[in-house]
């Protein structure tokens, strides 16, 4: 209770009488003013424009003066506005305007509310605050004559954290087992009641008033039982009190299609595959040296004829399959991690095979440029077995469609077997995690969190609607219990599934503090205590800056610039765009870049500009790539292509600094990923149409080399070393197996020419793509596919065996890495020459052999690096060095690494 103990019984009684007075219009009430009549939008209870930020303060953007303001609450949720009056049985909490508005501390915590007016809860009414939060809440302002001027719903995220956060963040939620006995706990502070539905029966739960946590202790017989929570709560999205039967957001196991949670102890020995406790992992590679393969679980094996468990977790245990053999080759070359696209419980895939739709036509029959394949795939896309999985339903349970049986704990066992299989192949495992949004919100079928504490876990806009800048219903990790869910979930994946790293989808939508809290929690895991060395777990994510939280509007974001120096990497788009050309959303996909022929091998696209414009842009792209090769260091200084001495942060990238990293490992380089066109498809659009298959293979290797040989971690989409194509599909998240499947056997092709890509995201590019899909130049054979992979593996091996590619400090990079020809008359458009310790690397993206004379190296012995000299690429073996003049000669479309002799 927060009310003053000094109040007399008379005062209390009078206040209570006023508080329960009906809110129906009075026969003697003053008539509404024209201002109220003319502003119906001001009387809208479906919006929530007021924000209760702590137990004493309401923030509200209001205009004009009012004689009084109140919070009105009703447990039955029947407050309404009728004829300009608030109706229904409600209780009142008086509010007083706070002179000067929000305090400095409040503005710092809620910067997006800094201009809002502040209203203080009357001390006489503070004992009603907790009760008020369990029903409908309305903020009102009235004129001197009692006329209702404004009425709106109230957002309560801030006050819930203020009242309950300290205790609730320390609570153990979900199923917790001790000596075989489970305790089930759910945070639901606004619920009017919560009970447990176990095997169809209701079991009462006890509420802890300090934290708002409801819990119940069960018997041993509860282990393995199905359950749901029955939550009675006010739901603003439907403007009524509802009773939801909802699964546990902290579920550790689920029935098929996530209809019920299952009380499961993840430490149960029955869920541990043979050898799980003694699992030996490959040696950990520091993030700054990580070479990562990004892989979708179903893509990996669904069309692999040699896999015994196609499309499932267990495919990674098929040691004789073509896919596993290829992963082992990559691991042997130096690839250190496999990054799995989302593998938690997914909201859009029917988990039982019998319920999954399949295309009902022969996809192999139509022509390579036909519309028929995509039309057929689109008919079943919503109900087939395919989705990338960026639509989370339950964050801490493996997806059921990848298991041999989605009903129960086979998914737990088989996920662990997958980790064993990858570790046994010499690869550590990274999970792609998506905590920035949910599959749905409100009362939707696929909503979980918002049915338990409505309006809390989702990020709300100023009017109380759910933000959707991420594509879906955004979450709010800035709120204490959503932040806790992120940390708790990741610790579970690390401890119970022995996952070695996490990649955060849209990490910029998280507060920096939340990601650092994850790092701290993982660092606390030890082999002795937890079976895991948490400090060796790598973290990286998408640090994009956009949406309602852009430019730190609500909190300090986990964006590229803000995460510098934390040891948590962000994807760097600088090098990707420079090597490809343009950006992912260009109207004309023919915009060229360094590795796609800009100026040196122009295509027919007018979007590239005049030769002079192309040359200027190419030289700027080369500067962007130089910065990328340093690991995107902001403080690294070099001479740019114009001859100026600049820092990485002073090189322009679309109005932002190209260099933003403080240390090696802050930025992750990549030439392609699951998003946007695959590298092969991007080059298909950009290279001149008459470029041969062999030449395309060489450009693929050169493009991949710009990230593989850069300082800091590097990621490649699985199959890019095999010229992987998705038939020009730029957004294949729901395009089915036909467009997405990996082809490990070169005789099956590379995926190109499987028809025009799905219309929904690609029709505007069909005119550009249709002539390409039938081109013989774009249909590589085994020589090109296998040759690309072998040359790429040589580069990975070079990267892994030469310490110079993984320098530890900015100072080391500044002193050992340089671009000796940059900004001089000897700088060649389309060629980058990099000196790195005892190595010289020449990237020749032009269609002609090039000579690069480096003054100061005359008389110094160099030779082609032994890995390339003995390697798979016959062309690079003709690269040479003239000691007398210090001149390096490199064949067309080739990256060559020379070693000082």
What is the per-residue DSSP string for 558-580?
A: --HHHHTTTT-EEE-HHHHHHHH
In the numeric block, the tokens 């990099």 are attached to 834
Other C-beta atoms lying within 10 Å of the C-beta of residue 526: 12
Q: Is the dihedral of CA 314, 317, 320, 323 positive or negative?
A: positive
Helices (H) and strands (E) in the chain, counts: 24, 43
Contacts of 710 (CB under 8 A, 6+ apart): 575, 628, 629, 630, 631, 669, 805
Task: Identify the CA nearest to 32 among candidates 151, 148, 152.
Answer: 148
Q: How many CB atoms lie within 10 A of CB 815?
A: 11
3-class SS of residue 472: coil
Q: Minimal CA–CA distance to 661: which of 601, 617, 710, 705?
A: 710
Q: Report d(CA 185, CA 173) in Å as an integer.
A: 5
CA distance 73 to 82: 17
**DSSP characters for 93-142?**
EEEEEPTTSS-HHHHHH-GGGTTSEEEEEPGGGGGGHHHHTTSEEEEEEE
Q: Which residues pair with 833 in a beta bridge?
A: 842
510 Cβ neighbours under 8 A, 6+ residues apart: 435, 436, 477, 486, 504, 557, 558
Chain-centroid distance of CA 771 in Å reads: 35
HSE value, Cβ hemisphere, 13 Å, CA-based, for 613: 7
Cα(852)–Cα(891) distance, integer angstroms? 11
* CB contact at 8 A, 849 and 619: no
d(CA 314, CA 323) in angstroms, rounded, equals: 12
Show which residues are catalytic: 505, 542
CA distances to 332, 377, 785, 897 from 790, rounded to whole Å, are 12, 33, 9, 16
Helices (H), 110-260: 129-132, 157-168
DSSP state letter for 509:
G
Q: 501-504 and 538-541 as β-strands: parallel, antiparallel, unpaired?
A: parallel
């Amino acid at each position: 209770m927060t009310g003053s103990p000094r109040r007399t019984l008379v005062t209390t009684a009078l206040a209570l009488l006023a508080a329960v007075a009906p809110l129906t219009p009075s026969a003697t009430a003053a008539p509404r003013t024209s201002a109220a009549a003319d502003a119906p939008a001001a009387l809208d209870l479906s919006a929530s424009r007021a924000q209760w930020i702590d137990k004493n303060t309401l923030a509200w953007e209001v205009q004009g003066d009012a004689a009084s303001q109140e919070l009105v609450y009703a447990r039955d949720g029947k407050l309404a506005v009728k004829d300009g009056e608030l109706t229904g049985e409600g209780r009142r909490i008086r509010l007083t305007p706070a002179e000067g508005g929000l305090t400095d501390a409040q503005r710092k915590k809620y910067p997006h509310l800094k201009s809002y007016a502040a209203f203080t809860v009357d001390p006489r009414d503070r004992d009603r605050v907790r009760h008020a939060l369990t029903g409908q809440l309305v903020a009102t302002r009235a004129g001197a004559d009692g006329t209702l001027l404004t009425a709106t719903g109230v957002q309560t995220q801030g006050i819930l954290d203020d009242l309950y956060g300290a205790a609730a963040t320390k609570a153990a939620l979900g199923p917790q087992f001790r000596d075989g006995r489970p305790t089930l706990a759910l945070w639901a502070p606004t619920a009017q009641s919560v009970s447990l539905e176990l095997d169809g029966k209701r079991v009462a739960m006890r509420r802890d008033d300090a934290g708002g946590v409801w819990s119940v202790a069960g018997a041993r017989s509860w282990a393995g039982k199905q359950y749901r929570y029955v939550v009675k709560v006010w739901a603003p999205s439907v403007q009524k009190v509802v009773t939801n039967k909802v699964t546990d957001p902290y579920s550790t196991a689920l029935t098929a299609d996530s209809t019920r949670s299952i009380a499961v102890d993840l430490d149960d020995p029955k869920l541990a595959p043979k050898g799980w406790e003694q699992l030996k992992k490959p040696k950990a590679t520091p993030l700054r040296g990580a070479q990562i393969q990004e892989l979708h679980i179903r893509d990996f094996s669904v069309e692999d004829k040699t896999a015994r468990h196609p499309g499932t977790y267990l495919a990674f245990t098929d040691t004789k399959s073509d896919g596993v053999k290829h992963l082992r080759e990559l691991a042997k070359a130096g690839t250190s991690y496999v990054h799995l696209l989302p593998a938690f419980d997914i909201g859009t895939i029917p988990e039982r095979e019998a319920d999954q739709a399949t295309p009902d036509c022969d996809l192999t029959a139509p022509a390579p440029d036909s519309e028929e394949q995509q039309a057929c795939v689109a008919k079943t896309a919503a109900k087939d077995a395919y989705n990338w999985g960026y639509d989370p339903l339950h964050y801490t349970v493996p997806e059921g469609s990848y298991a041999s049986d989605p009903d129960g704990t086979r998914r737990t066992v088989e996920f662990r077997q997958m980790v064993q299989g990858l570790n046994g192949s010499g690869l550590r495992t990274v999970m792609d995690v998506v905590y920035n949004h949910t599959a749905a919100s409100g009362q939707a079928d696929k909503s979980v969190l918002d049915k338990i504490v409505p309006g809390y876990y989702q990020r709300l806009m100023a009017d109380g609607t759910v933000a959707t800048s991420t594509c879906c219903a955004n979450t709010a990790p800035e709120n204490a219990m959503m932040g806790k869910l992120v940390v708790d979930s990741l610790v579970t994946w690390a401890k119970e599934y022995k996952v070695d790293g996490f990649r955060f989808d849209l990490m910029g939508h998280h507060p920096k503090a939340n990601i650092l809290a994850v790092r701290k929690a993982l660092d606390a895991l030890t082999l002795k205590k937890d079976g895991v060395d948490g400090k060796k777990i790598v973290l990286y994510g998408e640090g994009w800056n956009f949406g309602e939280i852009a430019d730190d509007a609500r909190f300090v974001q986990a964006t590229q610039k803000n995460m510098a120096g934390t040891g948590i990497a962000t994807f760097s788009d600088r090098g990707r765009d420079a090597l490809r050309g343009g950006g992912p959303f260009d109207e004309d996909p023919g915009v060229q870049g360094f590795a796609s022929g800009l100026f040196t091998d122009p295509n027919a696209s007018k979007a590239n500009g005049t030769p002079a414009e192309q040359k200027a842009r190419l030289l700027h792209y080369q500067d962007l790539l130089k910065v990328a090769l340093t690991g995107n260091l902001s403080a690294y200084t070099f001479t740019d292509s114009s001859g100026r001495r600049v820092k990485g942060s002073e090189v322009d990238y679309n109005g932002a600094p190209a260099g933003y990293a403080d240390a090696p490992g802050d930025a992750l380089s990549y030439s392609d990923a699951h998003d946007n066109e695959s590298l092969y498809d991007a080059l298909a659009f950009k290279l001149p149409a008459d470029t041969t298959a062999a030449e395309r293979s060489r450009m693929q290797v050169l493009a991949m080399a710009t990230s593989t040989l850069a300082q800091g971690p590097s990621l490649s989409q699985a199959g890019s070393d095999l010229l992987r194509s998705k038939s020009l599909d730029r957004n294949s998240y729901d395009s089915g197996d036909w467009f997405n499947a990996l082809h490990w056997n070169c005789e099956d092709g590379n995926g190109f020419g499987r028809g025009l890509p799905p219309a929904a995201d690609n029709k505007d590019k069909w005119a550009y793509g249709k002539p390409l899909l039938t081109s013989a130049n774009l249909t590589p054979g085994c020589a090109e596919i296998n040759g690309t992979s072998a040359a790429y593996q040589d580069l990975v091996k070079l990267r892994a065996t030469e310490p110079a590619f993984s320098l530890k400090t900015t100072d080391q990079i500044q002193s050992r890495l340089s671009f000796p020809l940059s900004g001089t008359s000897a700088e060649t458009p389309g060629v980058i020459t990099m000196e790195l310790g005892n190595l010289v690397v020449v990237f020749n993206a032009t269609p002609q052999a090039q000579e690069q004379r480096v003054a100061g190296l005359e008389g110094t012995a160099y030779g082609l690096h032994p890995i390339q000299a003995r390697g798979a690429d016959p062309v690079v073996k003709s690269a040479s060095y003239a000691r007398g003049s210090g001149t390096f000669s490199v064949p067309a479309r080739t990256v060559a690494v020379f070693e000082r002799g």
